[in-house]
Amino acid sequence: MDQNHTQQSHEVGNPERLLSKKQHISTNGHRLGETVHSRKPRRRLPSMPVSRPPAISIFLLLGLLSSCSAALNVAPPTLPEGKVGHPYQASIVVGDNETPLGGAYLESGSLPPGLSFGRVEQQNRMPIVGTPTGPGKHSFRVSLWCHGTNFPGQSATRDYVIVIR
């Protein structure tokens, strides 16, 4: 066993011995020692220039696609009044969105104290929920945005007033 081990380690260290062994190994069903020819070499076809569109045209196309997005339609035109201490619920709904509504934020003004934006519902509704804590007339500008996937995300803004009595 020791002698066999020495012989194997000698074969591993001797590249000439490995080459001669590789020549006799059959991996395709031929007899050992048989010379196997690979298939005929392929004839090279003359090279022809490949035409690729310039990068600027790809960017132009993407720009045109993004500018073709329809503007978001935001409704309702006004939000309902609320009462101090009573639960309030209203929804801002977007239409013509190519991708789901992602969310909303206030660009200016503020919601009445006690009210906030909820989670997006049905991929096109942004609820305003809560219980108003004081009376007043509250003006704000809301910005709504849609997720961008194959299209750049759409967005829109709308001015609202919520009166709490």
**Is 117 domain-assigned?**
yes
Looking at the domain assignment, is residue 55 inside a domain? no
- Does residue 102 belong to any structural domain of this protein? yes
Q: Which residue has the tokens 């380690």?
A: 9
19 phi/psi in degrees, rounded to 5: -60, -45
Domain residues for the domain of 144 are 71-164
Instruction: Considering only residues 112 and 65, tell me which one the structure prediction assigns the higher pLDDT.
Output: 112
Identify the H or E element spanning 140.
strand 136-146
- pTM for the structure as a whole: 0.57
Give the residue, 117 or 148, on which the prediction is more confident.
117
Task: Give, in order, the Cα–Cα distances in Å from 18 to each of 25, 122, 155.
Answer: 11, 69, 69
Two tokens, residue 58: 């790809």
Total structural domains in the chain?
1
The predicted pLDDT at position 99 comes to 87
Judge whether 18 lies within some domain: no
- Among the ranges given (8-22, 44-58, 126-140), the one the predictor scored with the smallest mean pLDDT: 8-22
Q: What's the pLDDT tens digit per position in 40-60?
A: 666 666 665 655 555 555 544
Q: Considering Cα of 93, then 96, then 101, then 107, what sign does the dihedral take?
A: negative
CATH code of 84's domain: 2.60.40.10
Determine the Cα–Cα distance for residues 118 and 141; give it in Å rounded to an integer.
Answer: 17
Cα radius of gyration (the chain): 37
Amino acid type, 25: I
Q: Residue 24: which pLDDT band, with cuts at 50, 70 and 90?
A: very low
**pLDDT range class, residue 32, cuts 50, 70, 90:** low
Given this model, what pLDDT does residue 22 score?
Answer: 47
Task: Give dist(CA 25, CA 70) in Å, integer.
Answer: 68
For CA atoms 47, 56, 70, 125, the dihedral sign is: positive
Contact 152, 69 (CB under 8 A): yes
pLDDT tens digits, residue range 95-124? 998 889 999 999 999 999 999 999 999 999
Q: Which two tokens stand for residue 65?
A: 């696609």
pLDDT at 148: 76
The verdict on residue 106 lying in a domain is: yes
